[in-house]
C-alpha cells in the first residue's frame, strides 16, 4: 500500500506509540508484506527467525518487536506488538467500508452490463464492454478492465486468509490491498478471488477461469492462463504467462510457476516449478511418472 501523502518516521511512531530508531524526518511511503516490499515501505516482523530477512529486505522501515542494530540507510519502529500496529497503520490510511456505505464512486465504462443483483463496494472501476452476471460481489478498490466476463455468484475482493493465533484465538491481518482483473478475462461461476493484504491480487490479460476456483491474496496470474474447476491457489504465488491448470489442482503459498507449464488434474504443488508438464500429489514430471507406472506394472 502506498500512502496518498508521504509520512515521516516520527508521525508513524506517534500514531502507533512505538519507539523510533532513526531520523524523525525519515521518509515513509507505505506498507507492504515481505515478498512485496520496496524502498520507503514499512514491513513488520515479530519473530527472531525472520529478523534477518526483514532487516535485509528492500524495506527501509522495519516494524519490529525488539530493538536491534539498525542497518545503514534504514529506520526501526520498535513495538510490543508489530502485527497489531501494522494493522493500525494500514487501517488508519485506508477507508475500509466492507459494504457498510453506499458505493457512489463506482466508475463504469460504456456498453458494460451489470445485473441489478450485483453488489459493488467503494472505489471500484469497471471497464468497457463487460458482462457481470447475477449475484456477483465486487469488493472495495477492485479494478476491472475491458471485455471482462464474470459469471454468477463469484466474489472478487474478499479478505485474505491471513491470521495469527493469540491466547487460543485467531487474529486477522486486515486486508487493505485490492484486486486487478485485466482486459479480456473470463471468470466462471462461484469463484473467489481474495484481495491483496497490502498490494494487488492480479488476473492477467486474456486468462480464463472455470467454476469454483479459489485465488489467494497477492497472487499474480499471468496472461492467457487457463485454470479448470475446483483448483486452489494459495496466497503470494506467481503464475507466469500461458500456464494451464486442470481440475482440482492445489498450489501452496509463495510459489512460482514458469511460463507455459501444464499442471494435470489433482496435481499438488509444493515447490517452484520450471516449465514442463506435471502430475501427482507431489508434482513430478509427467513422463517420469508414466515410466514409474510402467516399471511397477512390469513387476508382476
pLDDT digits (tens, 9 = 90+) for 87-139: 999 999 998 888 888 787 899 999 999 999 999 999 999 999 999 999 999 99
CATH 2.160.10.10 describes domain 107-288: yes
Question: Considering only CA atoms, which of 76, 80, 83 is closest in space to residue 24?
Answer: 76
3-state secondary structure of 85: helix
Q: Percent of the chain having pLDDT more than 90? A: 90
What is the Cα–Cα distance from 208 to 142, expressed in whole angstroms?
A: 18
pTM, 2 dp: 0.92
Min mean pLDDT across 11-15, 95-99, 189-193 is at 95-99
What is the Cα–Cα distance from 254 to 66, expressed in whole angstroms?
A: 27
Within the chain, all domains assigned CATH 2.160.10.10 are found at 107-288
Quote the mean pLDDT of the chain.
96
217 catalytic? Reply is: yes
Report which DSSP code applies to 273.
B
Cβ–Cβ < 8 Å for 272, 284: no
Report which DSSP code applies to 15.
H
Write down the pLDDT at residue 298: 83
Question: Considering only CA atoms, which of 8, 48, 47 is closest in space to residue 25?
Answer: 8
pLDDT digits (tens, 9 = 90+) for 33-66: 998 899 999 999 999 999 999 999 999 999 999 9
> Looking at the predicted structure, is the pLDDT value of residue 300 above 80?
no
Say how many residues make up the chain. Answer: 300
pLDDT digits (tens, 9 = 90+) for 285-298: 998 888 888 888 88
Write down the pLDDT at residue 272: 98
Within the chain, all domains assigned CATH 3.40.1390.10 are found at 2-92
Cβ–Cβ < 8 Å for 196, 110: no
pLDDT digits (tens, 9 = 90+) for 131-145: 999 999 999 999 999
Cβ–Cβ < 8 Å for 117, 24: no
> Looking at the predicted structure, is the pLDDT value of residue 264 above 80?
yes
Which listed CATH number (3.40.50.300, 3.40.50.360, 3.40.630.40, 3.40.1390.10) goes with 2-92? 3.40.1390.10
Write down the pLDDT at residue 104: 78
Structure confidence at residue 174 as a pLDDT band (50, 70, 90): very high
Residues 224-232 have a mean pLDDT of 98
Amino acid at each position: 500500500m502506498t500512502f496518498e501523502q508521504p509520512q515521516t518516521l516520527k508521525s508513524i511512531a506517534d500514531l502507533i506509540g512505538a519507539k523510533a530508531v532513526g531520523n524523525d524526518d525519515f521518509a515513509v511511503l507505505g506498507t507492504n508484506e515481505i515478498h512485496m516490499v520496496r524502498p520507503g515501505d514499512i514491513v513488520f516482523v515479530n519473530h527472531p527467525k525472520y529478523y534477518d530477512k526483514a532487516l535485509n529486505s528492500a524495506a527501509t522501515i522495519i516494524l519490529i518487536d525488539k530493538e536491534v542494530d539498525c542497518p545503514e540507510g534504514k529506520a526501526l519502529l520498535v513495538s510490543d506488538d508489530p502485527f497489531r500496529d501494522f494493522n493500525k497503520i494500514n487501517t488508519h490510511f485506508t477507508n475500509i467500508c466492507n459494504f457498510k456505505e453506499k458505493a457512489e464512486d463506482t466508475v463504469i465504462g460504456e456498453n458494460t452490463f451489470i445485473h441489478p443483483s450485483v453488489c459493488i463496494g467503494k472505489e471500484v472501476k469497471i471497464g468497457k464492454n463487460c458482462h457481470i452476471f447475477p449475484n456477483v460481489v465486487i469488493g472495495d478498490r477492485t479494478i476491472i478492465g475491458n471485455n471482462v466476463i464474470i459469471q454468477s455468484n463469484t466474489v472478487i475482493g474478499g479478505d485474505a486468509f491471513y491470521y495469527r493465533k493469540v491466547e487460543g484465538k485467531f487474529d486477522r491481518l486486515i486486508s487493505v490491498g485490492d484486486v486487478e482483473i485485466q482486459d479480456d478475462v473470463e471468470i466462471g461461476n462461484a469463484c473467489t478471488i481474495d484481495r491483496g493484504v497490502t498490494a494487488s491480487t492480479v488476473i492477467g490479460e486474456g486468462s480464463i477461469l472455470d467454476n469454483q476456483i479459489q485465488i489467494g491474496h497477492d497472487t499474480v496470474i499471468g496472461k492467457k492462463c487457463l485454470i479448470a474447476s475446483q483448483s486452489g491457489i494459495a496466497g503470494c504465488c506467481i503464475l507466469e504467462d500461458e500456464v494451464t491448470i486442470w481440475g482440482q489442482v492445489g498450489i501452496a503459498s509463495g510459489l512460482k510457476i514458469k511460463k507455459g507449464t501444464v499442471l494435470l488434474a489433482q496435481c499438488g504443488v509444493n515447490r517452484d516449478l520450471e516449465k514442463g508438464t506435471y502430475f501427482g500429489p507431489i508434482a513430478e514430471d509427467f513422463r517420469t511418472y508414466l515410466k514409474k507406472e510402467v516399471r511397477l506394472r512390469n513387476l508382476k
